[in-house]
Structure 1
Amino acid sequence: MSTPSSHVVCTSLTFTWPDGTTPFKDFRIAVGPGRTGLIGLNGSGKSTLMKLIAGELTPAEGTIRTTGGIGYLPQNLVLDTALRVDQVLGIAETRAALHAIEGGDPSEKHFTAVGDDWDVEERARAALDQLGLGHIGLDRTIGEVSGGEGVLLRLAALLLERPEILLLDEPTNNLDLFARRRLYAAVASWPGVMIIVSHDRKLLDLVDQIADLRSGEVTWYGGNFHAYEKALAVEQEAAERMVRVAEADVQRQRRELADTHVKLARRKRYGKKMEENKRVPKVTANALKRSAQESAGRLRIQHSEKLTEARERLTEAEDAVRDDDEIRIELPFTRVHPGRGVLRLTDLTVRYGAEPVGSLEVRGPERIALVGRNGAGKTSLLRTVTGELPPVSGEAVAEVPLRFLPQRLDVLDDGLTVAENVARFAPGATDNRIRAQLARLLFRGARADQPAGTLSGGERFRAALAAQLLSEPAPQLVLLDEPTNNLDMASVRGLTAALDAYEGALIVAGHDVPFLESIGVTRWLLLDGGLHDITAEDVREGRLRRPEPPRG
């Protein structure tokens, strides 16, 4: 584990992608012991910085200096499904040597492989237990566990390695509420240097400091995310006040410059009149004229400089105010009247689900949060409702037009522009109408002509959301699968704003409780051996168990 001197230091760091984008130029950051939350807008370079520190990318200039070993959990973890659990944990060779010795093979190579690690299996099982994975055997393969369990297995491997520096990039993506609680506990007890990129507010409330990455620079805030929000609110209030002061100063300097021009014009007319009336000798008049011109020039320069300085102060003040755009759209044709049938499930069993789903009726503009453990079948249920997966038994009938936004965002054609992608789903809409709606979703002007394959994670999500919400016929049932994965805080607010404009029925499979509460969920369903109604308090407190059957 880390010592008090453990740290990460980036000095004069410059990195450029092959397309010429330069997220970092002469960038500097120093991170010491403790938990640091690295936040910023999508595309600000958070994941790029993590890869640079982990050694997966090489900077064009500058240095990255770290003390001790580095453990890295990437945002999009891909594990070979054929790997055994002990291979993911990095103990396969040691474990095999240990078993060989226990089986009576005294070869020196086995003792060398084991070294002092005679309790490797006990430590591995303890690490698995810590993360709620005690039920997973060391000989099972990755193909037999859920995506969320795979993430936790990789984290367990890092805990076994005991690196001095631990890098976690969106670690709660795809984790159910149970797994998140285990992760929170592991993070809270970590004694070394930890850098976390996340949009998970609960996770960020466990950090010791926030590093806000914006425009290639880091601003530091002491305390957790809650403290950061408070400090930022005070900072932004002061910045807006400075803008008002600077605007008043610019107006004052403009008036003073205008007054100066008026005074100089009057003085010029007065001098000309005196000369015409022969009240002063010509030599004296010329001297006075030159003096007046020089004085006028100095005054104009002086007031012009003051106006320029005032404008510069205004620009600086405006730059300090964050102007993250907000999504504003109207979707009147998505309205569903209360009582109207929207979705009907009858004795349904889905593929890849652990147990039967059962029956369900959704009526009117209900907003349903679908929660449950990883592997319970939430994604399979949504794909069955859309018709992508045929049911094993029973039926799922959507009674209104529906759209589905999957985790992978594979509804977009990477070779088409944003506008062209939306046009695929709304063939009857004019180009002007599509672009007007895209502008409200922050794709203005040339941004609507960007190829989908070049979009950042947050932009890609907005484009996929636009394609679904603006499709024809207008969707009156929208299904979202883990929609906040990989989104920054601003994008999550944007998604909330877009869903505020949506007037149809909504089913969201997810584990981001603050987000689910922010979109006005009216019904919470637990998928665990069927669909069970639970309360928001049950979810917040982690009481996610199927109801006990009545006795007798």
Structure 2
Amino acid sequence: MPSFPSVRLRNVSLSASVLRTANASSELASSGSEPRVAFDLTLGPGVTGLVGRNGSGKSSLLKFIASSGLTGATDLPVMGEVSLSGPVRLLDQSPDPQARLCGLFGCAEAWADLRHALAGEPTRGAFEAVDWTLEDRMVAQLTRFGLPGMAPERRLGALSGGQQLRASLAALFFDAPEIILLDEPTNALDTEAREVLAAALKSHRGIALVASHDRTLLEEVDRIVSLEPDGSVAQFGGGWSAFQTAREAERARLVAEADKAARALRQHRAQVEEAAARQARRARQGKALRDGSQSKMLLDKAKEGAEGAAGGRLRATARRQEALGAAQASAVNRIEVVTPVAMVFPEINLPATKQVLVLREAVFAIGDRRIGPITLSLTGPERLAISGPNGAGKSTLLRGIAGKIAPLSGEVIRPVKCARLDQSGGLAGPGNLIEAARREHPHLEPAEIRTALAQAGFRGDTALKPVAVLSGGERLRAAIALLGAGGYPAPLLLLDEPTNHLDLDALEALEEGLSQWRGALIVISHDAHFLRKLEISARFCLNSRHMGVTKAL
């Protein structure tokens, strides 16, 4: 048993079906080959970020480690051996709503013993074995994660979604476990909860393996492990910035290698053409000699020798050209197995003085609560971020701005057309991509939908894929393409947590596309890195302590 915490993976490989899913738009998926690369990986104390494209196997790998790699324990598409130095916990993001907090903490029996002992009733074991500090430790842990005064016997179904995730995080870190595994833990967390999680990870003394696309979180990790498109892994020391620098340097090296291979192939082809020209000249000279006075016997003997040597040279030349071509193809493939498809927003040029949105004392309902009164305005291509804790009503406000719900009082004035994209890109539900697009855009003609999808790379049968099998990036790319369909793009774009289910490639493509967008933008996001990239001009804070617009720094 190692003297320090460790996770050791040996001869681990992802199934070919996983790799085909992760590389759905590459030759790797359509070639009919069964790529399978086994890897070894050892993790020591500290926080390790796990990155990779959607569908690359991050979640399966975490579940595989959590199951200790026992054959037959799961039906996961992963094979190999796992060696753990101690107990492992995987963040529970879908707890049973009927379970109680003490059960989530794994302390249901110990909690029952404590309650019986305090009531003077018999316990399961010796009275001296009762954990007398259990309640204090659980309450302190719940308070640490933003749930003060929460009773350990409370049912999870009585908590909001955000509170359930906070409770799951509190349970994960309870009593300092040796090894913890987290799968996209920040997706449903507000800014305050993200900061609490970051502090908990920083103070963790064991091993933490975190699958995430949250670059603010990844900036603080000790190392990053990347699941590559071919199923191998690459490990980088440091956080997100160091990872990006190393990746860019590696890409530059591979580009130079591909250029060198291409030059060698061109030079070889030029040499082959020159040799062929020389051989043609010699053939013409030989014909002239045969037409002359030299004896036929001498000429035939010379011809046989020349043909034998030429045949050998041709075979060597063919082998050399094949090797150079393979080297060039290999170098190009290593640059990027899948070239990320750009997210291209429709062209628009919104005048700086154009009134885009006005809210005057608008009040909206969210259940029994009221949001507002809210007063704000947007002019020209301004970029507004709506911030606030989970449950504050940010999405309700965005739906009110979009005209999906009417205000209880006050007014909402939208002088321009607006388009709204939520976490699914607005394309969800049953059926294929074209059917989902028709539901979301009933005003568009079928030909307009097909044209827009084709321009985004969804051509032929690809446009008939079920929406359920598309990645978050693919759904968002299709939704963005439909914004400009019909020739009348909306000057005001509303985004509700658009980054939650995107991998890093899709996220960066979204940022690049929005940087070229010349319309107005209102966005809800807890992703600080994403908001910085968008160059937000103002923020609207929505919470009980303060409500209003502040200019972004």
State the TM bucket, normalised to the shorter chain: 0.7 to 0.9
Aligned pairs (5 A) from 1:231-310: 231-279=246-294, 281-310=295-324
Alpha-carbon distance change, 402 to 341 in structure 1, aligned in 2, over 3 angstroms: closer
User: Is 1:126 matched with 2:137?
Assistant: no
**What is the RMSD of the two structures over their aligned residues, measured on CA atoms?**
3.1
Matched pairs, number: 531
Alpha-carbon distance change, 79 to 63 in structure 1, aligned in 2, over 3 angstroms: same
CA deviations 1:67-95 (Å, max 9, x no partner) are 13221126xx2334444333332333322
Aligned to 1:357, the other structure's residue is in SS state strand
Cα displacement (A) at 1:253: 0.6
Aligned equivalents of 1:347, 1:267: Cα separation in 2: 91
Aligned equivalents of 2:91, 2:205: Cα separation in 1: 17
Query: More deviation in 302-311 or 183-192?
Result: 302-311
Aligned equivalents of 1:189, 1:315: Cα separation in 2: 46
Aligned to 2:225, the other structure's residue is in SS state strand
Query: More deviation in 460-469 or 32-41?
Result: 460-469
Q: Which residue number corresponds to residue 179 of structure 1?
A: 193
Q: Which residue number corresponds to residue 65 of structure 1?
A: 82
Aligned equivalents of 2:12, 2:374: Cα separation in 1: 60
Aligned equivalents of 1:352, 1:3: Cα separation in 2: 54
Alpha-carbon distance change, 82 to 384 in structure 1, aligned in 2, over 3 angstroms: farther
Q: Give the conservation status (yes or no) of the 8 Å contact 1:331–1:501.
A: no
Alpha-carbon distance change, 155 to 197 in structure 1, aligned in 2, over 3 angstroms: same
Aligned equivalents of 2:311, 2:477: Cα separation in 1: 55
Aligned equivalents of 1:181, 1:6: Cα separation in 2: 26
Aligned to 2:539, the other structure's residue is in SS state strand
Query: More deviation in 370-379 or 349-358?
Result: 349-358
Q: Which residue number corresponds to residue 136 of structure 1?
A: 150
Q: Which residue number corresponds to residue 391 of structure 2?
A: 375
Aligned equivalents of 2:345, 2:87: Cα separation in 1: 51
Aligned to 2:500, the other structure's residue is in SS state coil
Q: Which residue number corresponds to residue 45 of structure 1?
A: 57
- Out of 401, 419, 422, the position equivalent to 1:385 is 401
Query: More deviation in 366-375 or 264-273?
Result: 264-273
Aligned pairs (5 A) from 1:476-487: 476-487=491-502
User: Is 1:93 matched with 2:93?
Assistant: no
CA deviations 1:498-545 (Å, max 9, x no partner) are 3334433321111101111212311111111353223545xxxxxxxx
User: Is 1:344 matched with 2:359?
Assistant: yes
User: Is 1:460 matched with 2:475?
Assistant: yes
- Out of 328, 331, 334, the position equivalent to 1:317 is 331
Q: Give the conservation status (yes or no) of the 8 Å contact 1:352–1:380.
A: no
Identity of aligned residues (%): 31
One-letter amino acid matched to 2:301? A
Query: More deviation in 407-416 or 197-206?
Result: 407-416
CA deviations 1:264-309 (Å, max 9, x no partner) are 1112222222222132x32222121111111111222222222222
Aligned equivalents of 2:16, 2:317: Cα separation in 1: 43
Q: Which residue number corresponds to residue 7 of structure 2?
A: 7
Q: Which residue number corresponds to residue 327 of structure 1?
A: 342
Query: More deviation in 168-177 or 358-367?
Result: 358-367
Aligned equivalents of 1:497, 1:22: Cα separation in 2: 22
Aligned equivalents of 1:5, 1:411: Cα separation in 2: 44
Q: Which residue number corresponds to residue 420 of structure 2?
A: 404
Q: TM-score normalised to the size of structure 1?
A: 0.86
Alpha-carbon distance change, 518 to 14 in structure 1, aligned in 2, over 3 angstroms: closer
Aligned to 2:166, the other structure's residue is in SS state helix
Alpha-carbon distance change, 47 to 245 in structure 1, aligned in 2, over 3 angstroms: same
Query: More deviation in 420-429 or 124-133?
Result: 420-429
Aligned equivalents of 1:171, 1:267: Cα separation in 2: 74
Aligned to 1:109, the other structure's residue is in SS state coil
Query: More deviation in 204-213 or 169-178?
Result: 204-213
Alpha-carbon distance change, 61 to 421 in structure 1, aligned in 2, over 3 angstroms: closer
Aligned equivalents of 2:312, 2:531: Cα separation in 1: 63
- Out of 207, 210, 216, the position equivalent to 2:221 is 207
Alpha-carbon distance change, 262 to 430 in structure 1, aligned in 2, over 3 angstroms: farther
Alpha-carbon distance change, 26 to 195 in structure 1, aligned in 2, over 3 angstroms: same
Cα displacement (A) at 1:359: 2.2
Cα displacement (A) at 1:401: 2.6
Query: More deviation in 395-404 or 175-184?
Result: 395-404
Aligned equivalents of 1:2, 1:188: Cα separation in 2: 23
Cα displacement (A) at 1:157: 0.8
CA deviations 1:88-116 (Å, max 9, x no partner) are 323333223212211111x141647x945
Q: TM-score normalised to the size of structure 2?
A: 0.86
Alpha-carbon distance change, 203 to 461 in structure 1, aligned in 2, over 3 angstroms: same
Alpha-carbon distance change, 22 to 319 in structure 1, aligned in 2, over 3 angstroms: closer
Q: Which residue number corresponds to residue 32 of structure 1?
A: 43
Cα displacement (A) at 1:419: 3.4
Aligned equivalents of 1:349, 1:179: Cα separation in 2: 26
Q: Give the conservation status (yes or no) of the 8 Å contact 1:523–1:533.
A: yes
Aligned equivalents of 1:59, 1:425: Cα separation in 2: 35
Query: More deviation in 514-523 or 399-408?
Result: 399-408
Q: Give the conservation status (yes or no) of the 8 Å contact 2:180–2:208.
A: yes
Alpha-carbon distance change, 463 to 89 in structure 1, aligned in 2, over 3 angstroms: farther
Q: Which residue number corresponds to residue 94 of structure 2?
A: 78
Q: Which residue number corresponds to residue 183 of structure 2?
A: 169
Alpha-carbon distance change, 192 to 116 in structure 1, aligned in 2, over 3 angstroms: farther
Q: Give the conservation status (yes or no) of the 8 Å contact 1:329–1:437.
A: no
Cα displacement (A) at 1:36: 1.6
Cα displacement (A) at 1:156: 1.1
Q: Give the conservation status (yes or no) of the 8 Å contact 2:91–2:169.
A: yes
Aligned equivalents of 1:3, 1:382: Cα separation in 2: 53
Cα displacement (A) at 1:207: 1.7
Aligned equivalents of 2:313, 2:418: Cα separation in 1: 69
Q: Give the conservation status (yes or no) of the 8 Å contact 1:335–1:502.
A: no
Aligned equivalents of 2:368, 2:479: Cα separation in 1: 26
Q: Give the conservation status (yes or no) of the 8 Å contact 2:15–2:36.
A: yes
Structure 2's unaligned 5+ residue stretches are 24-34, 68-72
Aligned to 1:534, the other structure's residue is in SS state strand
One-letter amino acid matched to 1:282? K
Aligned to 1:267, the other structure's residue is in SS state helix
Alpha-carbon distance change, 425 to 472 in structure 1, aligned in 2, over 3 angstroms: farther
One-letter amino acid matched to 2:353? P
Alpha-carbon distance change, 440 to 49 in structure 1, aligned in 2, over 3 angstroms: farther
Aligned equivalents of 2:410, 2:331: Cα separation in 1: 62
Aligned equivalents of 2:172, 2:257: Cα separation in 1: 47
